Amino acid sequence: MAAMLNLIKNGVDAVGGAGQIIVTGAARRLDAPLKCAAGQSLAVGDYVAFSVVDTGPGIPDGDMDRVTDPFFTTKGVGKGSGLGLSMVAGFALKSGGGLQITSSPLGAVVTILLPDATPPR
């Protein structure tokens, strides 16, 4: 829950009161390994994906490789600690999942993928 709230707050900050935030959740099957943020890769398997999409300006290309680094922030002084995406990526990793981040000038999509723990029927 804290991870999702963090991603939503990042999206709200990105749109600056003049855009949209869309939150989705869905089952997702990976048929091939998936490269994730922080250099990790997810194995083939079943996951639950929670995404936060914003219509902000996106993440500058030069920052994409650093956004999950502890204390890295693109926000002004006093506006952010730089720990949010780092903590979300750590949570996903410790849970057996990963964090996927895509961005364009039309906005960003941050997805937490967690292993599907649904018991078989």
Q: According to the model, what pLDDT value does residue 79 have?
A: 60
Total length of the chain: 121
Q: According to the model, what pLDDT value does residue 1 have?
A: 75
Which of 29-38, 51-60, 69-78 bottoms out in mean pLDDT, i.e. has the lowest? 69-78
Q: According to the model, what pLDDT value does residue 72 have?
A: 73
CATH code, domain carrying 74: 3.30.565.10
Q: How many structural domains are present in the chain?
A: 1
- The predicted-structure confidence for 75-94, as pLDDT tens digits, reads as follows 655 566 556 788 999 999 99
Q: According to the model, what pLDDT value does residue 62 have?
A: 86
Is 65 a domain residue? yes
Is 121 a domain residue? no
Backbone dihedral region for residue 45 (phi beyond 0: left; psi -120 to 50: alpha; all else: beta): left
Is 101 a domain residue? yes
